[in-house]
Structure 1
Amino acid sequence: MSAQAPVEPSAQSATRPAWTPIRRLMVNGAIFIMLMAMLILVSIQTRIPWNYEPAGQTLDTLTPNTAVTFDNTTGKTLPQRNTYKVASHYETIEAKQPSTGEVQMIKVLIRAPKDAGKNLPGVVFMHGAGYGTCDNSYGDIATALSSAGFVTAVIDKPVWSTNDITRDYPGSAAAYDQTINLLRNRPDVNEHNVGIYASSESTWISSYLLQQDHNIAFQVLLSPMVFAPRQAIAFLAAQDFAIVGANDGYQSIVRRVFSFDLGMYGVHNMDINPMDPQAYSIPTLVAYGSKDVMTAQVQGVKEIWANAHRAHNWNVTVRSYPVANHVLRLGDESMPNTPFADDYVNDVIDWAVGTSRGLKQTSEPIAGSPLYQSIAVPLDLHARRGMTIYATFVFGLMFIMLLAAIVCWIMALVKWIIKLTKPKDKRRPVLGLCNGFGRTLLWVTVGTMATLILFFAGFGEVVWGVVKLAWGDAPQEDPGMMFWSWPFIQVVCVIAVWIWSRVFMRMIEAADTRGYLRVRSIRCGKQSKIVPDQNLVAQAQSNHVIASRKFGKVLFWITVIAMLSIMQFFAFWGLFLF
């Protein structure tokens, strides 16, 4: 018996009726909920817990008088500032980076007291962050020490081919040790009496230096960072973001940034261990400014004491100066001729003179203004490799898709300009976007990109506020955009997600009304099959869902993916936590 022929349906219209408003709302709402749930989940999964307690730590000093005095049993008058005139000259050393063999020719500015005799103490100055040279760094303090009988050396900062992120701290320590040996070999210097003066970032280098060279006589540590870079810089950023008035959302970025595993990309400085007892095994002067917003002073001093005592060293002097900033200056560090705190230079000279001569200190070991620390150092902060991989994917996807979208829109603009120059092509569409997708895509893209620009502008204002704060500037009373931009971006993100869910709803509706989502059952013998309604599909070929031209479809989907990748970018930074 022959098979029954398929039963054909009766003629039907090419399209189904448009959806009702209720159906549109239901589908729109379902898509919105799914998109929001996905983005909120990303924000939750990338959230880093951080305990700021104990907050408001203080450490009292024994006296407000910062003067450093010694029991001078020698009967000789100790040199002071301006006791000697100072002569200076340049030398050059060939500093080889141990890890790579790269050579940097480093200029050394040596200052020496005139007619001070022989067997003099020496001091080598170590640079903080940046790219300081021997000519633009430590000129005033080095000259002051030399006028009190010290031979001082300031060098061009050893950087080789590194940058601020990839600094070679062990290699830098070797270069500074080479400078120390340069002083030791001078006929007017006591080779056993050469110390160091380290500031800020270089206190990480000094830790390596003292582990390499056990013959360094003494050290002055100006605003020491003490803790590993991951914890120390995270503390700095979190504290300063709060001081300048940044929204809590921007402060949460700090936690994510300093949880990146940069070791995946060859950057291993974040987790060095500078807290070695050997680093504090010699006579040490620690100096802080009360307006220093970059160092954890209370925990830092306690950690220095603990490590010094482990190394059986009880000769640690701490001084804290009111009004002074991170580099012990009074005012904006970016301005020329900004002076040191009133007594700082004289105190350093007095301490260095007495210590280099082996005298017994009679002044209090901790003096000046009380030390204060707003939040705790995040000692439990660590690298999270999984989050780093995901961040790399999100950032990479956003960059690639934005670049592709920009190229497509430029091509569309060129095609539109060419079309205007050819009258016969004026009716031919460039993109052929239909069902209102062209106008919607344009506005939602402009809105999303404007939100991205606002995000970077708000974050940039926070960073600039922190930089000015580090230079000694006071925070603004009204934080402005760095506060209100975060909740504003959150609101705009929710609106953008709603609009994108509406775009997807319109796509589904257009596909359904044109028969692309309709199916029918046909009988073939005793069996039935569910197949697309080919009649509707065939009749709807001229009624496209997204665009009538392939280039328009490509541009549409590339733009959609680029804009959704921006939403993922926002979600990673926690903008979908409310």
Structure 2
Amino acid sequence: MTSLPIFVILMGILVSVSHLTAVPWKYDPVDQNFPTLTPDTSVTFDNPDGIHLDKMGDYRVKAHHETVTAVREGTDERQEIRVQIREPLGVQGERPGVVFMHGAGYGTCDNSFGDVAETLASAGFVTAVLDKPVWSTTDANRDYPASARAYDQVINLLRAKQNVDPARVGIYATSESTWISSFLLSMDKDVAFQILLSPMVYSPRHAVGFFVAQDFAIAGANQGYQSVVRRLFSTDASLFNINSLDIDPTDENTYAIPTLLAYGAKDVMTAQVEGVQRVLAEAHAAGNENVTVRSYAVSNHVLRLGDEANTGTPLADHYQEDMTNWAVGQANGLRQTSPSAGGATIHQSIAVPTDLRGRPVLTIYMLALHILTFLLLLISLVLALVAGGVKIHHLIRHKGPALGFSHGFGGSLATVTGTTLASLVLFAAGLGQVIMAVVKLGWGGVPDPAGVSYWSWPVIQVVCALVIWAWSRIFTRMAEVASFKGVSQIPSQLKAHRAGGPTVAQQMHSNDPQPVVASTRLGLALFIVTTLAMFGVLLIFAFWGLFIYY
């Protein structure tokens, strides 16, 4: 009669937390397709004057390094950036140029874009690959405007060269750098053309939220883990002075120049259908009809045929030739005769979550809960270590009980704590497996079959319900013991004492002298702190949606 109401109250609290922190997410429409006009990816141009058009492999290439100093505006941070310049040999006159812009990570001029930069240089372009400008930033707080200025420095470096035509310098941007290119094109209106691989057309919150949610499903993770994605991408990063999460990567300049969009059919990171539609809409609004779309079968997010983590993974068949021919045609101002959209049918599994936004109250609660629980776990660990030392000392000295737990509360606490922490480890293992699967998918690899990331969610839900029942039994036992000892009768005892009866101390002394929980302060402190820490863990489970049972 006592345990059940306590169980219902505890479950009600945790279920309410799960529902109050739930974030709606619209997945429709699903399985969108953008049919191309032809399966052929080749790019051709009308050449009525019969001018010579360079092709990949026409020239030998020489390379050298130069250095620029990139200053992060508003700070005193400087980065010495090495730039690898590749030039075609045996050509006359001013040549077109291309500056390469890095995706996520920390690429350098020596380990990035080597094959593509070499290919374009062999077709008569002067290419520049630079160390990624990062200063002291990380992937979480990257300074996109400052990065754009650094790339523009290298663009101007190429323009100043005697063998480069300053009016024919374009950019080659991939993935994350397509957020940076939008800033660059607003600063520099003279960029001639852009080649965009798997462009992130939406804000980082929407684009990354899309691909993580999609990849969780592809990896076979339990649907419950999607609630983790929803809550995580509802974080209000502006509270931490991180303002790049909600940037708008499109404006009137972003797609106002000749643009090549290239996608891999096995790309699991980019919202391709809605991305193409938005690019076309923005380009047409800017008066630009020169947008070419190519989709390559089998290839991944960076147009590679296989796992990008392995060195030497080749690019998609015909991609380098198609890309080079497009760049040559644009550099010579020719009219394209091949269809604007070619290659494999473009597919997208779920919709971009454009209604996703930062939720400051949810973020503050998340931080407070996780920090407080961590501190309680740390304190309880310290107390447990101290208690262990005291217990060993008492055993050696043949003293009495070290902690003085009574009525079996010590064993119950250990059992329930161990079960709760085991559930936390299981939750971390399931989340860890699905994160590793997402990383593998992002690199173009095949993740391991779903295991713990699938069955761990319902198992943790069942275990948590049993843990809450166990806690309700412990609290019931505490109330029962307190009642036997007269603790619950203290108010009436005080009234009796004022009426001339025995004192409270005398009444308590007449009962069983054994304490309710523990006879030592250390034991009592360990019980209270550990109980609060375990309830904090359950609240964390509730925050991430584990107490939504459907």
Range of TM-score over shorter length: over 0.9
SS of equivalent to 2:99: strand
In structure 1, what is the equivalent of residue 27 of structure 2? 52
Alignment of 1:84-483 (within 5 A): 84-421=59-396, 425-476=397-448, 478-483=449-454
* Alpha-carbon distance between aligned partners in 2 of 1:529 and 1:183, rounded to the nearest angstrom: 100
Confirm or deny: 8 A CA contact 1:514 1:536 kept in the other structure.
no
Larger Rg: 1 or 2?
Answer: 1
* Alpha-carbon distance between aligned partners in 2 of 1:548 and 1:53, rounded to the nearest angstrom: 60
Give CA deviations for 1:187-206 in whole Å, capped at 9, x if unaligned.
10001110000000000000
| Amino acid aligned to 2:43 | V
* Alpha-carbon distance between aligned partners in 1 of 2:149 and 2:516, rounded to the nearest angstrom: 68
SS of equivalent to 1:401: helix
SS of equivalent to 2:402: coil
Percent identity over the alignment is: 51
The TM-score, its normalising length taken from structure 2, stands at: 0.97
The offset of 1:420, in angstroms, is 3.9
Is 1:496 aligned to 2:467, yes or no?
A: yes
* Alpha-carbon distance between aligned partners in 2 of 1:87 and 1:185, rounded to the nearest angstrom: 19
* Alpha-carbon distance between aligned partners in 2 of 1:375 and 1:136, rounded to the nearest angstrom: 34
| Amino acid aligned to 1:510 | V
Out of 55, 78, 97, the position equivalent to 1:80 is 55
SS of equivalent to 1:274: coil
* Alpha-carbon distance between aligned partners in 2 of 1:415 and 1:278, rounded to the nearest angstrom: 70
Out of 41, 59, 72, the position equivalent to 2:16 is 41
Confirm or deny: 8 A CA contact 2:211 2:269 kept in the other structure.
yes
Confirm or deny: 8 A CA contact 1:243 1:475 kept in the other structure.
no
* Alpha-carbon distance between aligned partners in 2 of 1:521 and 1:419, rounded to the nearest angstrom: 37
| Amino acid aligned to 2:515 | H
* Alpha-carbon distance between aligned partners in 1 of 2:463 and 2:496, rounded to the nearest angstrom: 54
Confirm or deny: 8 A CA contact 2:32 2:350 kept in the other structure.
yes
The offset of 1:501, in angstroms, is 1.1
* Alpha-carbon distance between aligned partners in 2 of 1:427 and 1:375, rounded to the nearest angstrom: 66
Confirm or deny: 8 A CA contact 1:46 1:572 kept in the other structure.
yes
Confirm or deny: 8 A CA contact 1:522 1:530 kept in the other structure.
no
| Distance change in 2, residues 1:467/1:405 (3 Å) | same
| Amino acid aligned to 1:293 | V
* Alpha-carbon distance between aligned partners in 2 of 1:522 and 1:294, rounded to the nearest angstrom: 69
The offset of 1:446, in angstroms, is 0.9
SS of equivalent to 1:518: helix
| Amino acid aligned to 1:435 | H
| Distance change in 2, residues 1:229/1:439 (3 Å) | same
Give CA deviations for 1:450-506 in whole Å, capped at 9, x if unaligned.
110110000000000111111112344x42111100000000100111111111111
In structure 1, what is the equivalent of residue 543 of structure 2? 572
The offset of 1:518, in angstroms, is 1.6
Q: How many residues align?
A: 548
* Alpha-carbon distance between aligned partners in 2 of 1:516 and 1:524, rounded to the nearest angstrom: 14
* Alpha-carbon distance between aligned partners in 2 of 1:107 and 1:257, rounded to the nearest angstrom: 36
Comparing 529-538 with 375-384, greater Cα deviation is found at: 529-538
The TM-score, its normalising length taken from structure 1, stands at: 0.92
Confirm or deny: 8 A CA contact 2:391 2:403 kept in the other structure.
no
In structure 2, what is the equivalent of residue 19 of structure 1? none
* Alpha-carbon distance between aligned partners in 2 of 1:532 and 1:55, rounded to the nearest angstrom: 74
* Alpha-carbon distance between aligned partners in 2 of 1:522 and 1:65, rounded to the nearest angstrom: 92
| Gaps in structure 1 of 5+ consecutive residues | 1-25
| Gaps in structure 2 of 5+ consecutive residues | none
Confirm or deny: 8 A CA contact 2:97 2:168 kept in the other structure.
yes
* Alpha-carbon distance between aligned partners in 2 of 1:531 and 1:307, rounded to the nearest angstrom: 87
* Alpha-carbon distance between aligned partners in 2 of 1:492 and 1:521, rounded to the nearest angstrom: 42
| Amino acid aligned to 1:267 | I
Confirm or deny: 8 A CA contact 2:235 2:363 kept in the other structure.
yes
The offset of 1:542, in angstroms, is 2.7
